[in-house]
Amino acid sequence: VIAAWAPAWPVIAVGASLDEPAATAERGRITAATHVAVEAGVRVGMRVRDAQRLCPRLTVLRADPVQAARLFEPVVCALEQIAVGIEVVRPGLCVLDAAGPSRYFGGEQQAAALLRDAAAEVETDTGPVPIGVGVADGIAAAVLAARTDTIVAPGGSAVFLASFDIGVLAGPELALALRRLGIRTLGQFAALPVGKVGTRFGAEGVRIHRLARGLDARDPAPRHAPADLAVEHVFDPTVPVLEPLVFAAKTLADGLHERLAGLGLVCDRISIEATTADGRVSSRWWRHEGRLTGRAVAERARWQLEAWLTRNPPPQTADTYVGEVEDGAGFARLMLRPDGLRIATGIQGDLLGGEQQLPGTAEAAIEHLQDLLGYTRVTRPVITSGRGPADTAVLVPFGDLDPELRGTGPWPGRIPNPAPAMIPGRPVPVLLLDAHGAAVVVTGRGEIPDPPVLLVLGTGRARVTGFSNPWPLHERPWEPDGGHRTARLQVTVESGAAYLLGVEAGDWFVIAGYQ
């Protein structure tokens, strides 16, 4: 078995350099460290505080397994160019069967060298990826051999493993128990009779015992290379304007969604990549979560390319007329690439069936309206929570993802029930006057020294018949300008109408109306 191991991969993946003492940590424990840090005494599983005591220059980063897995993908693809049947044990470590490559390349040495070169050619943000390649009889021995770039002769795994500390294979609890019994190396452990190990340490103990004797617990399980699901549209002649691109994006996205659905997959992200004839590329990843419609993807293509065109205007050469775009500046290719594929498990509907969903007729009408009015103007309300009148329901375009929830509250200062029925787009300035004709003042303690008598709304004047105690609202007090400090007040006027008023810096305005 060949094991290819990129040391400290999780640290590289979060953007640290291998030449610096850096480590990743999760829940206060070190999960990976660069060799500089390891030399200083930092060990995996150590508490971050202990590691920092040993190595004060240590940069501790937050572990990001998803990112590590994503960045490891190109490395695995490069290795697959050399040999097939690669199993990714975890990001940074993969194993493969040695028999094929070593016979094909004329020896284990040669195969290991080729794998090392292939990995080094992968471009990453932090330079070439150094990998260690180890060859041994079993996975455990090969992985340990990869640390030192060793090739263990067939049948020599048990001898090779014998000198390692018991902690490299056994979990912390088992290792501690064994150390207390005076067993410090794998060799000492392997010398114990298997029956006694089974009686004392159970199945887990027997598994470690097998590994320590150089026997394999299992064979490598090769991964299946992901099928290339990217879809592409080539424009010939090239198109200098956006509309055909957006249209093509919708067709491509619909086709892609259909293909994914046929495979029973959904994707977490989707990349929209547009290339001009002269080779300039606009590429971006968008969150998908398997819930965007084709139209929503097309709308994202429009957002991305509109912004890209503003930042990168078509190059003007001396001999083109003003307003005429050169051929090379038009878009030649549009590609959609799904990423983060996972098995479609469906979306859980409401408990009592599909009653909550819109029927097909309504969905067809919504699609039609989005064509007619624009994607963002046909929306569905999503009930959220918050302090303002507009925070209780967010309008999301159909086909788009739900917004991130803002937490559950309790939202001190929120608007009490019943919900106001009239919410103007922006607060309407009004005058709230007391008996002397001066604007009503709310003190810092939320008291009104002079009660309101008159509400002047535009040209209308209405006598105030009732008002609540004002309640203060202090949002974002951590911001440098002191945040947003207002007070709210309900008033009723003699016509029977009621308003929710707000006051900020002495100015009154209508936040919502109860009518």
Partner 1 sequence: MATIAPMFDNRLKLRSGSGSSGEARLAGPGALDGLTRGVAGARARRAPGLAVPVALGELLPDGLQRGAVTGLDGDRYLAAGLVGAAIRQAGSAALVGVDDLGTAAVVAAGAAPARLVVVRSDAPTWARAVEVLIGAVEVVLVRPPGPVADAVARRITARLRRTAPVATALIVAGGAFPAPVRLRVAAAQWSGLEIGHGLLEARRVSVVAERRDGSSRAVQVYLPGVDGAVVPAWPAEAAPSDELAARRRRAA
Q: Cα–Cα distances in Å, from 310 out to 268, 324, 326, 374?
A: 28, 17, 17, 21
Q: How far is the CB of 424 from partner 1 (least distance, A)?
A: 5
Q: Does 217 bind partner 1 (CB under 8 A)?
A: no
Q: Cα–Cα distances in Å, from 272 out to 332, 335, 376?
A: 14, 6, 20
**Nearest CA to 503 among 478, 471, 475, 476?**
471
Of 128, 264, 409, 466, the one binding partner 1 (CB under 8 A) is 466
Of 365, 435, 438, 441, the one binding partner 1 (CB under 8 A) is 365
Q: Does 459 bind partner 1 (CB under 8 A)?
A: no
Q: Does 435 bind partner 1 (CB under 8 A)?
A: no
Which neighbouring-strand residues pair with 513?
422, 499
Q: How far is the CB of 423 from partner 1 (least distance, A)?
A: 5
CB 452 within 8 A of CB 440: yes
CB 206 within 8 A of CB 196: no
425 versus 444: smaller Cβ distance to partner 1: 425
Of 89, 206, 401, 448, the one binding partner 1 (CB under 8 A) is 448
Q: Does 449 bind partner 1 (CB under 8 A)?
A: no
Q: Does 421 bind partner 1 (CB under 8 A)?
A: yes
CA atoms within 13 A on the CB side of 194: 10
**Nearest CA to 371 among 242, 239, 233, 243?**
243
Q: Does 380 bind partner 1 (CB under 8 A)?
A: yes
339 versus 363: smaller Cβ distance to partner 1: 363
Q: Does 128 bind partner 1 (CB under 8 A)?
A: no
Q: Does 270 bind partner 1 (CB under 8 A)?
A: no
CB atoms within 10 A of CB 202: 11
Residues 383-412, one symbol each (x = binds partner 1 by CB under 8 A, - = not), give x-----x--xx-x--x--------------
Q: Does 366 bind partner 1 (CB under 8 A)?
A: yes
**Nearest CA to 510 among 447, 384, 493, 482?**
493
Of 18, 75, 305, 512, the one binding partner 1 (CB under 8 A) is 512
- Which range in 117-125, 163-171, 239-247, 376-384 contacts partner 1 by CB under 8 A? 376-384
65 versus 446: smaller Cβ distance to partner 1: 446
The span from the CA of 495 to the CA of 372, in Å, is 41
Q: Binding residues for partner 1, how many (CB under 8 A)?
A: 54
Q: Does 200 bind partner 1 (CB under 8 A)?
A: no
Q: Does 381 bind partner 1 (CB under 8 A)?
A: yes
Q: How far is the CB of 447 from partner 1 (least distance, A)?
A: 9
127 versus 407: smaller Cβ distance to partner 1: 407
User: Is residue 318 classed exposed, middle or buried when 0-12, 13-18 and 19+ CB atoms within 10 A define those classes?
Assistant: exposed
**Nearest CA to 55 among 71, 76, 68, 38?**
38
The span from the CA of 104 to the CA of 121, in Å, is 21
3-class state of residue 221 by DSSP:
coil
CA atoms within 13 A on the CB side of 178: 26
3-class state of residue 393 by DSSP:
strand
335-364 binders of partner 1 (CB under 8 A): 350, 355-359, 361-362, 364
Q: Does 491 bind partner 1 (CB under 8 A)?
A: yes
Q: Does 469 bind partner 1 (CB under 8 A)?
A: yes
> Which positions touch partner 1 (CB under 8 A)?
350, 355-359, 361-362, 364-366, 368-369, 372-373, 377-383, 389, 392-393, 395, 398, 416-425, 448, 451, 466-469, 490-492, 495-498, 512-515
